[in-house]
Amino acid sequence: MSLRIFGAGQWHARLAELEGVRPTHEYRKGDPQGVSTKFRCEHDGWVLHATSDRSLEMHEQLELLWSVVEQHKRVFAECIADADHADVCLGLLSDDSGGLVGIPPAALRLIRELDVGVTLNFDMGAVIGDDA
């Protein structure tokens, strides 16, 4: 699970100044998309994963992500307002939930407070740590 902000490269330096916030991934438009590829990133990107602990429930990951972002809510809200796109990406692998995923209203605070969308990732081939 991660907070993803695209098209707000002008904010990367400001986000780097925030205490306790370190992106999991950060890249600029035109950067190579990988080590051995000719493809380039189409936009700036800033990604913050909740945790690498996959034993946590989805609502626990959302709450953990919010605990990092909440203390800098104003800065994140301004950044997201300038961004081309921002979302919370939720990884939903078929063996994680038995077919059902429930998220209590309190855990949705990050999405409500920052007014971001939700992207559901059903990619069974996703590498551990990628957008889950």
Give domain status of residue 129, yes or no.
no
Supply the pTM of this predicted model. Answer: 0.83
CA dist., res. 123 & res. 112, Å (int): 25
Reported as a pLDDT band with limits 50, 70 and 90, residue 7 is very high
pLDDT in tens, 55-104: 888 889 999 999 999 999 999 999 999 999 999 998 776 555 566 778 88
Q: What secondary structure does DSSP assign to 69-127, as a single string?
A: HGGGHHHHHHHHHHSSEEEEEEE--HHHHTT-----GGGGHHHHHHT-EEEEE--TTPP
Specify the pLDDT at position 102.
80
Instruction: Determine what percent of the chain falls in helix, strand and coil, rounding each to the nearest 5.
Output: 35, 20, 45
12-16, 28-32, 90-94, 116-120: range with lowest mean pLDDT: 90-94
Give domain status of residue 130, yes or no.
no
Higher per-residue confidence, 48 vs 93: 48
Question: What total of structural domains would you count in the chain?
Answer: 1
> Which structural domain range is residue 71 located in?
2-121
Specify the pLDDT at position 54.
76
Average pLDDT, the chain: 85
